[in-house]
A = this chain, B = another copy of it.
Amino acid sequence: MVFWKRLFNNTDISNTDQKSQFKGEPVKLKGQTDGQTRIFFTREREIDLYELEELCDAVGWARRPLRKVKRALTYSFMVVSAWEVKGNRKRLIGFARATSDHAFNATIWDVVIHPRFQSKGLGKGMMKYMIRQLRSEDISNITLFADPQVVDFYRRLGFVLDPEGIKGMFWYPD
């Protein structure tokens, strides 16, 4: 199945769902009842750019040129996504990616869960999945830049602010 063919050298060895050919890690949501609908996390990178744009639109992020988004996905060290799967239909409901030197550090960017799926533990689960995957690649220093309203979300996951006074700093063009 072309959609899930491995374009990159990932080493995700999690389950393959026979029925949907979906390669990923099945997730149980808080209060999930519908036996037909399943949720998966995956490191597969074959993501439709328009579907990703829709997801980012849904949380109100500014649009970015798809050409650059494509490049960013290609050169991210890791791309993680969450999917709702019903039979053969699947829908992108969560996303995050990380840049890295493939040795010491990784920096996580663009963490998003579709509003309709927020507050069900999915963001937490996806971040835990990503941390586990980064650890499995021997990355020990995981960093990110958090918007003020999500600092507590990351804190619950074990992220700390300014350890030993280390400060995140930003440079923007004039």
Contacts and interface: CB of A to CB of B under 8 A. Distances in A.
Interface of A: 64, 68-69, 71-72, 74-77, 97, 99-105, 107, 109, 131, 135, 140-148, 151, 154-155, 157-173
B168 A167 contact: yes
A169 B173 contact: no
Contacts of A148: 164-167
A99 to B, nearest CB: 5
B173 A68 contact: no
Nearest to A155: B169
Copies of this chain assembled into the complex: 2
5 contacts: A74-B102, A97-B101, A107-B107, A145-B168, A157-B171
Contact of A169 (B99, B103, B161): B161
A162 B168 contact: yes
Contact of A170 (B100, B163, B170): B163
Contacts of A103: 68-69, 71-72, 75
Contact of A104 (B72, B146, B162): B72
B169 A104 contact: no
Contacts of A151: 167, 169
B166 A159 contact: no
Given A101-B75, A105-B109, A167 B145 contact: yes
Contacts of A157: 171
Contacts of A172: 140-142, 160, 163
A171 B147 contact: no
Contacts of A75: 77, 100-103
